[in-house]
Amino acid sequence: MIFRSVALLVLCSVTVGTGALRAQDRSKFVVAGVLGFSSVTQRTALDTTKSSGTLFGLEAGFRYWRAELRGRYSQGGLEPNGGGQSTDLVEGELMLGVWPVDMLALRFGPRARSYVTNAGTVRWVFWEVRARFEASLSRGSSLWSYFEAWYALTGSVNAAESFGNGRGLEGGIGLLIPSTPVRLRLGYRIDQGRLQEDSRTEAIEELILAVGVGR
Amino acid sequence: MGRGWVLGAFAVLLAASSLSAQRPTELVDRAVEAYDDLDLGTAAGLIRRALAAQGSDTLSTEYQLRALSYLGATEFFRDNRDSAMSAFRQIVVLDPRFQIDDLVFPPDLTSVFALVRRDTKIVQAAAPPVRSIRAGTGRYTAQLFASSYHEILATLAFADGRPLRVLYSGLIGDSLEIYWDGLDSQQIAVAAGRYFLTIESTGREGTVVRQLRVPLDVSTSFIDTMPWPAPPADSLFLPEGTSGGPALESLLAGVVGGIAVALLPSAVASDADLSAGRFVVGGAMSVAGVIGFFKQRGGQPIPANITANDAVRREWQNQRNDVARENAALLAEVDLEIRAGRPVAVDVGEQ
């Protein structure tokens, strides 16, 4: 039922977007390296654990007309703030989106997150719907800001408890260096996954620096 | 009584016959007969009467030339040399190319005529009565015939005598062809009106002795010119200064986005102990929005748009210049209809 709703939403967005499409700049491609300074807060009924670390990743996006496909992958190590065994964090996502108007994108797709320890791997999978706003801050779009919020329509986790919900947001600014295809981005992201009955929550906060190229 | 009627009728016939003999051409014919009979006094008198005829009885040029030839010969043989030369001079003025018949007149007479012809500087013009030409490219040609070798000045002049353009200045031998292209001395097509083709003959002393004036009535018809290009529509111009709209959008996008990034994370993850990174990014977004606002606020010049608008204006100006050039060329291409009147020779100096 949820998938049908999302499919209908995407279809409507494509229809609206097609009506407003313009011929120029029909295809865009961006690829960027991402450096994330992450902080993870894991809370259970018994305790709260905080860890932090640096993630390295790669993201790429392709846009044609008002349709878009983008993916992201990052991984890194997290060190518990109170000391203890380190954890590897691996994240990946693949989103399909549409831009019904120039400032707004609607996206849908899966995002997976894994915590890898010696004891095993905890894997979260979120099926998310996202809304992203982008606005130019200067003429010619060389400087822009963005804000993106998402909500997990469904998900799964390989734990004793079942998946509860997930949500998050990201905001930041981007700069296209004049006369070059080089793009810089500074962003902040917060994301939280929750198991049912609040038995466990995991929140990832990340300060993002990205350097990419694209047209 | 019957005899009286017959005598009356005879008298009327005699009178009619006498009147008929008074016609100038017959006077000339009778003068030639008198000349052949060596009745020189009668011949001279008859010729002068014939030449004095006015109105519809005026002798044709051909008869005038014949009469003057015999008048010159008559006076020559009556030892009135000046009168003879005067008659011959009139011949030359009438027709500079005329030659008296050397089969009729003796060599000493023809040599006197040749002398007069040599000393009488005059040209005759044969101009087409009606001719249409295109100013600048067409040619209105007139043929000039000279009495003798001498210097002439051919000009086109206004009706009041002011010179408009010199067509020829130099020597003429037997004949010469001059032409006019319909332009004045500034190479501009003349306006419609009356002009004169004036040929001045210069004597041996270097002074103008005679002037021939050919009236030319010129009518013009211009070719349609191209319309001026319409100025560029306002829709083609980009705004050369910033309006307030984009500036406000930038401010809102930066500040509202920054506030959202700073405040909303606590709503997303209320349990988390959030870092100050959100304030850094939120602050950067707000500052960027404020910078964007001031960079795009109304009245700021937009160089790219100014350049683009200048190109539009230049393009229009170039089109206007092209049209102006083409119109100038079209206006120069004026069709002229030239009607020549009867030439008039005027003595202006002593020979």
Q: Which residue has the tokens 């997990």?
A: A152
Q: Where are the alpha helices (DSSP H) in B191-347?
A: 244-263, 265-268, 277-296, 303-332
CA distance B261 to chain A (A): 6
A135 contacts on B by Cβ (under 8 Å): 249-250, 252-254, 257
Contacts of A4 (CB under 8 A, 6+ apart): none
A188 contacts on B by Cβ (under 8 Å): 261, 265, 277-278, 280-282
- Cα–Cα distance for residue pair B197/B140, rounded to 1 Å: 11
Please say whether the beta carbons of B84 and B91 come within 8 A. Answer: no
- pLDDT tens digits, one per residue of B187-238: 888 888 999 999 999 887 888 888 999 999 999 887 777 888 898 998 888 8
- Cβ of B253 and A136 within 8 Å? yes
Q: Which fold has domain A2-214?
A: Lipocalin (2.40.128)
Residue A147, CA atoms < 13 Å, CB-side half-sphere = 20
Q: Which residue has the higher pLDDT, B266 or A75?
A: A75
Q: Which residue has the tokens 């706003």?
A: A133
Q: Is B249 touching A (CB cutoff 8 A)?
A: yes
Q: What percent of chain B has pLDDT over 70?
A: 91
Q: Which residue has the higher pLDDT, A161 or B306?
A: B306
- Mean pLDDT across A129-155: 89
In terms of Cβ atoms closer than 10 Å to its own Cβ (0-12, 13-18, 19+), residue A118 is: exposed
Q: Domain residue spans in chain A?
A: 2-214
- Cβ of A203 and B302 within 8 Å? no
Q: Is B281 touching A (CB cutoff 8 A)?
A: yes
Pairing state of beta strands B130-134 and A200-214? Answer: unpaired
Contacts of A48 (CB under 8 A, 6+ apart): A41, A42, B271
- Cα–Cα distance for residue pair B346/B210, rounded to 1 Å: 6
- Cβ of B277 and A43 within 8 Å? no
Indicate the pLDDT class of residue A16, thresholds 50, 70 and 90. Answer: very low
Select the residue of B242, B246, B273 nearest A41 (Cβ to Cβ).
Answer: B273
Please say whether the beta carbons of B182 and B195 come within 8 A. Answer: no
- Cβ of A138 and B295 within 8 Å? yes
CA distance B268 to chain A (A): 6
Select the residue of A43, A172, A192 nearest B281 (Cβ to Cβ).
Answer: A172
Number of other CB atoms surrounding residue B338 within 10 Å:
22
Please say whether the beta carbons of B127 and B100 come within 8 A. Answer: no
CA distances from B41 to B71, B83, B84, B114, B174 (A): 10, 13, 13, 24, 36
What residues pair up with A108 in beta bridges, in sequence order? A96, A129
- Mean pLDDT across A53-67: 94
Nearest to B88 by CA among B148, B30, B41, B151: B148
CA distances from A196 to A116, A152, B316 (A): 22, 13, 72
The pair of three-digit structure tokens given for residue B168, joined into one six-digit string: 């020829």
CA-derived radius of gyration, chain B: 46
Is residue A3 over pLDDT 80?
Answer: no
B272 contacts on A by Cβ (under 8 Å): 41, 190, 192, 203, 205
- Mean pLDDT across B149-167: 91
The pair of three-digit structure tokens given for residue B58, joined into one six-digit string: 């005026």
The pair of three-digit structure tokens given for residue A32, joined into one six-digit string: 């960027």
- Cα–Cα distance for residue pair A69/A59, rounded to 1 Å: 11
Best probe of the A interface among B243, B263, B275, B290, by most A CBs < 10 A, is B275
Please say whether the beta carbons of A143 and B290 come within 8 A. Answer: no
According to DSSP, residue A45 is labeled: S
- Cα–Cα distance for residue pair B153/B160, rounded to 1 Å: 18
- Cβ of A138 and B289 within 8 Å? no
Residue B146, CA atoms < 13 Å, CB-side half-sphere = 23
Residue B285 φ then ψ, to 5°: -65, -40
- Cα–Cα distance for residue pair A140/A74, rounded to 1 Å: 31
- Mean pLDDT across A16-22: 40
- Cβ of A205 and B274 within 8 Å? yes
Select the residue of B261, B271, B302 nearest A147 (Cβ to Cβ).
Answer: B261
A176 contacts on B by Cβ (under 8 Å): none
Residue type, A206: E
Predicted pLDDT at B31: 92
Name the region of B44 (left: φ>0; alpha: ψ -120 to 50; beta: rest). Answer: alpha
Predicted pLDDT at B9: 56
Q: Which residue has the higher pLDDT, A53 or B17?
A: A53
Is residue B11 over pLDDT 60?
Answer: no
Is residue B151 over pLDDT 70?
Answer: yes
What residues pair up with B18 in beta bridges, in sequence order? none
Q: What percent of chain A has pLDDT over 70?
A: 87
- Cβ of A143 and B277 within 8 Å? no
Is residue B150 over pLDDT 70?
Answer: yes
Q: Where are the alpha helices (DSSP H) in A20-57?
A: none
Indicate the pLDDT class of residue B155, thresholds 50, 70 and 90. Answer: very high
- Cα–Cα distance for residue pair A84/A77, rounded to 1 Å: 13
B254 contacts on A by Cβ (under 8 Å): 135, 137, 145, 173
- ipTM, interface predicted TM-score of the complex: 0.83
What residues pair up with A60 in beta bridges, in sequence order? A31, A71
Number of other CB atoms surrounding residue A28 within 10 Å:
12
According to DSSP, residue B180 is labeled: E
**What is the number of CB-based contacts under 8 A between chain A and chain B?**
116
- Cα–Cα distance for residue pair B273/A53, rounded to 1 Å: 15
Buried-exposed string B71-104: b where 16+ CB fall within 10 A, e elsewhere: bbbbbbbeebeebbbbbbbbbbbbbbebebeeee
Contacts of B212 (CB under 8 A, 6+ apart): B122, B123, B124, B125, B198, B199, B200, B201, B343, B344, B345, B346
Contacts of A179 (CB under 8 A, 6+ apart): none
* This model's pTM is above 0.90: no
Please say whether the beta carbons of B333 and B132 come within 8 A. Answer: no
Average pLDDT, chain A: 86
